[in-house]
Structure 1
């Protein structure tokens, strides 16, 4: 069983996002049969089998064993992963994504956040093969009470950010490394508002 199944295909997402199928996946943390699931959900084994086969065809469920029960071969199914991550780009296609504001900086912030989520989901899948994924995450809260202080802070952050990249990164004419040896450094800075005190 994988740790993470990253879903970036709309058809796979639509196969998954049905209430009963989500509940079935939660119960398939260990191998179970369709009759067992039918008893748990108070549904017929035939109906459960229909949903299981749809999930199996989408690569979300796997048949892990077959046993003969009262002369009939009974399949045991298990979830393909412990958790399922949905690509942010699919949310709007499924229905429900809010558009970002008109400010270009906020749109870029959202795009960066989505890319980080996508990359993290894909890297999480590598753990199945035993790959060690080196990563680092930092977070800090900085009080910047006035505009001049904010401007100076942001300017210095940008300078330090660029200096680090130039100091440790190879020049373009020396780049011979593969994607696996390259790292992406993302810097995001935004006001931490108290969203719970919105105006009604």
Structure 2
């Protein structure tokens, strides 16, 4: 069985296991199966050290055993990453009022829900609202894509991107109002009772200016 395309990292303890620089390198390399001995030689590290990191990653479910190859006096374990990409749930990195990482319940279990770790903002023009909505999209789409991948089917999504240059800040508000009205009209035409529900998210933000300090 091949690795899934994406896995959502929404458990703080599991995320901490993967965040060290050496483990990130190992996860990237283990998109293709390899043994600890092979990676130790490639990275110029002691095999015992790589074995230590392999064990931690395996216990966290980030890598898995592919096969065991007989060697003189031992079996060489061939490992690979359980996903081709690991995406961090933004809510995990945002502290809650209790001081716990978002998504962490007492005892370390995950209870992340859309919006956890973000203050709900009603203002459609607030950057926090866009970040919260984008975080929810990352969370939901990654989970559904992984589930579809496990079933051997494709998750049908669509992405629209455009760039527009506004002359004045007021144009942003007028553009948003007209876009919302146009989307509502198209949605009303295609909306079918009993059909598969889709969520459409439209957001806009300034295009980052290369080398500009205030955009970083």
TM above 0.5, yes or no, is: yes
Residue of structure 2 aligned with 1:154, choices 176, 179, 183: 176
Structure in which a larger fraction of residues adopt helix: 1
Q: Is the counterpart of residue 189 in structure 1 residue 204 in structure 2?
A: yes
Report the more deviating stretch, 68-77 or 120-129: 120-129
Q: CA shift at 1:70, angstroms?
A: 0.7
Aligned residue runs from structure 1 range 22-33, under 5 A? 22-33=24-35
> Using the alignment, how far apart are the partners of 1:122 and 1:33 within structure 2?
29
Question: Which position in structure 2 is the counterpart of 1:21?
Answer: 23
Q: CA shift at 1:155, angstroms?
A: 2.2
Kindly tell me: are residues 167 and 60 of structure 1, through their superposed partners in 2, closer, same or farther at Cα, counting changes over 3 Å? same
Q: CA shift at 1:61, angstroms?
A: 0.5
Kindly tell me: are residues 195 and 56 of structure 1, through their superposed partners in 2, closer, same or farther at Cα, counting changes over 3 Å? same
TM-score where L is the length of structure 1 = 0.78
Kindly tell me: are residues 159 and 76 of structure 1, through their superposed partners in 2, closer, same or farther at Cα, counting changes over 3 Å? same
Higher relative contact order (CA 8 A, sep 6+): 1
Q: CA shift at 1:184, angstroms?
A: 0.5
Aligned residue runs from structure 1 range 69-148, under 5 A? 69-92=71-94, 104=123, 105-125=126-146, 126-146=148-168
TM-score where L is the length of structure 2 = 0.73
Contact 1:16 1:55 in 2 (8 A): yes
> Using the alignment, how far apart are the partners of 1:196 and 1:47 within structure 2?
39
Q: Is the counterpart of residue 169 in structure 1 residue 184 in structure 2?
A: no
Kindly tell me: are residues 192 and 37 of structure 1, through their superposed partners in 2, closer, same or farther at Cα, counting changes over 3 Å? closer
Aligned residue runs from structure 1 range 35-54, under 5 A? 35-54=37-56
> Using the alignment, how far apart are the partners of 2:60 and 2:83 within structure 1?
13
Contact 2:31 2:81 in 1 (8 A): yes
Deviation per CA, 1:140-165, whole angstroms, max 9, x where unpaired?
22333246654443322222222233
- Residue ranges of structure 1 left out of the alignment (5+ in a row): none
Kindly tell me: are residues 44 and 189 of structure 1, through their superposed partners in 2, closer, same or farther at Cα, counting changes over 3 Å? closer
- Residue ranges of structure 2 left out of the alignment (5+ in a row): 96-100, 102-117
Measured on the aligned residues, the alpha-carbon RMSD in Å equals 2.8
Structure having the higher Rg:
1
Q: How many residues align?
A: 187
Contact 1:3 1:128 in 2 (8 A): no
